[in-house]
Amino acid sequence: MTTNARRIEERLEELRKLIDYHNNKYYVEDNPEISDFEYDKLYRELEELEADYPDKATADSPTQRVGGKVLDAFDKVTHSVKMLSLSDVFNIEELKDFDRRVKEAIKEPVEYIVERKIDGLSVSLEYINGRFFRGSTRGDGITGEDITQNLKTIKSIPLVLRNENGEVLNIEGLEVRGEVYMPKKSFADLNDKQEELGLQKFANPRNAAAGSLRQLDSSITAQRRLDIFVFNIQAISGKQFETHSEALEFLKSVGFKASPEYKICNSIEEVATQINSIGELRGELEYDIDGAVVKINSLAQRELMGSTIKTPRWAVAYKYPAEKKLTKLKEIRLNVGRTGVLTPLAILEPVSLAGSTVSKATLHNVDFIKERDIMIGDTVLVQKAGDIIPEVIEVDFSKRDGKEKSFEMEKSCPVCGADVVREENEAAYRCTGIECPAKLFRSIVHFASRDAMNIDGLGPAIIEQLLNEELIKGIADLYYLAEHVEKLKDLEGFGQKSVDNMLSSVEKSKQNNIDRLIFGFGIRHIGVRGAQLLAQNYNSIDEIAEAGVEQLIQINEFGLKMAESVVQFFGQEQTKHTLSKLKDAGVNLTSINREEKQDMRFDGKTFVLTGTLTKYKRNDAKRIIESMGGRAAGSVSKNTDFILAGENAGSKLDTAIQLGIAIISEDDFEKMIL
């Protein structure tokens, strides 16, 4: 090895060791020693060296945490040590029963250890010679799923275990158990993002953590900012401990974020006191807990107690009841979310609940209010769902005095005044205004997206900046951004080139056919296919705006709900104002080449796409099929005509074979469309 090669290897090892150290200080000990700038400088140097010398990159390098590997499915893992669940106790009497059983089996003093029961997903982490080898879910306790790539994205999980001297831990095998969770702040940020993108919000941090860990694309997991507390050694080579507390201290010493604030107790009375203390703190913690765990501290005594098939006899989980309080419901307001959904919000007389003061609570929807006969002025029982979201659960009817008032849903949006609609079989009421400020961000993100107007360089972060600076107040304002070039260049992350590129893409989008514009409007029930059908059957946006329901439903594949949505949308004053601005800006509002004879070679034919396509992006293939009169369906049925099968085609291909449906390759498809 040359001197230069040796120097590079030494620097790589030094950087990895330094970054591991500072990761531990920041993510585990919550005690950073250097600034973010200094940390980023070290990290960039490591990235650059590994890029220059890829043969010297290692699987346990800190740079491998970002994710990006996409799996087809998770492999199964059989746990070498069963991952048992815990028996629950719900009150002090049941806790004393547990203590009585322990003392009957162990004829000597017993020391208990009490820990917070983190509300997350239990996982196993395996290390070989101090290096992270594999991570898996608990599953059924015997068999779990290999989620190693996703666990690597959690920065508080050490990829390399080191002793106090910074040396890699010389232990042949180590398996630990931990609880992956999503901090409350990360959960709130994630749900804000879900709402912005028009996606369903997660019910609670535990569900969000579980869903994040089971992503087949680890780069998605990396964005979710998960964390972990390790709470048990499942197996270890060449080392023994006498107590659980000793094992926890060892875990801390080698880089794990171990079970926080545990307490050793010498009596069940001390245990009860500690459980109460944890219960009083739970509203103030940065993460959810769903109880307290009580364990025998002595590992030898645990052996004496043993386990059942499902649970250890030496531990129980104490579950706290959800805290509930009575208070007065003073008012019901409507909150308009970024997708336009109107959610009733209870304005309450402030009440202390689970460690915080609550003055607002969700009422979910109008059906919820009616089912529980909730009225303005009622005395209501409030609790925090999952200790996070305050909600009204019931009315104390004995407190009614006749002054209460029924709640009636507004017929127009409280933010913009547009019509409010409720679809059949849906609980939600929605604002229909295209210019509604409450849902403007989501509307513009959709309008600029690839399947709509396809405006490159106009992602969610930039749209947020433009809205914050009041450079746009509606989708039509995108086409007037050229009037604000100097202001655009002053925005963070913008320069002359990025401004020019964005404005060029905006200008280019003016020439799109109207099917993209229609889809970009975000009309309820009008997807890509519905927009194409309108563009194929009408010469212009003006003609579509003048069409009635009876005319629209004459279009093949166009249903009544679709027709009603189109008529309602184009009847709105906000829509007329937006169309006027788009027309003045020079945006195309006519159907391009509609008069030319259309290629309808796939008319009446249904295609299903499965597997990974290499020659075409999936959306492009669908667009080609639909432009030639065909239909791209999501599932296989007896009405399917062709299966376009790429690499790693799954169960859809099996179903097609059973039904005798024609299976075509990308080469076959290419010949069909030439």
| Residues with a known catalytic role | 117
* CA torsion, ordered 566, 569, 570, 576, to nearest 10 deg: -160
Q: Which amino acid is at 105?
A: A
Phi and psi based region of residue 457 (left: phi greater than 0; alpha: psi -120 to 50; beta: remaining)? left
- What distance in Å separates the CA atoms of residue 157 and residue 151, rounded to the nearest whole number? 7
Q: Cα separations (Å) of 455 from 233, 472, 482, 502, 503?
A: 52, 15, 15, 8, 9
DSSP 503-529: HHHHHHHTTS-HHHHHHHTT-TT--HH
Using DSSP's 3-state secondary structure scheme, residue 323 falls into coil
Distance of CA 485 to the CA centre of its chain: 35
179, HSE (Cβ side, Cα atoms, 13 Å): 23
Residue type present at position 236? I
Buried b (16+ CB within 10 A) or exposed e, 221-252: bbebbbbbbbbbbbebeeeeeebbbebbebbe
Tokens at residue 128, please? 């070989």
Q: Which residues contact 55 (CB under 8 A, 6 or more apart)?
A: none
Q: What are phi and psi of 546, to 5 degrees?
A: -90, -10
Handedness of CA 180, 202, 214, 54 (dihedral sign): negative
CA dist., res. 217 & res. 215, Å (int): 5
Name the residue type at position 376: I
**What gap in Å lies between CA 151 and CA 148, rounded to an integer?**
5
DSSP state of 61: S
DSSP 3-state percent helix, strand, coil across the chain (nearest 5): 40, 25, 40
From residue 498, give the alpha-carbon distance in Å to each of 217, 320, 449, 483, 504.
Answer: 30, 54, 18, 16, 10
10 Å CB burial of residue 51 (0-12, 13-18, 19+) is exposed
Distances in whole angstroms, Cα of residue 528 to Cα of each of 15, 105, 517, 619, 660: 50, 68, 10, 10, 29
For 344-364, give the DSSP string. Answer: EEEEEEEEEETTEEEEEEE--
Residues 6+ apart with CB under 8 A from 221: 67, 150, 153, 212, 213, 215
Sort strands 420-422 and 389-395 into parallel, antiparallel or unpaired.
Answer: unpaired
Contacts of 96 (CB under 8 A, 6+ apart): 268
Residue 350 in contact with residue 331, Cβ under 8 Å?
no
Range 549-554 contact pairs with CB under 8 angstroms and sequence separation of 24 or more: none
Residue type, 390: P
User: In whole angstroms, how far apart are CA 20 and each of 65, 132, 474, 502, 579?
Assistant: 12, 13, 47, 40, 56
Consecutive H or E run containing 273: helix 268-281
259: which 2 tokens? 């079970």
φ, ψ for residue 470, nearest 5 deg: 55, 35
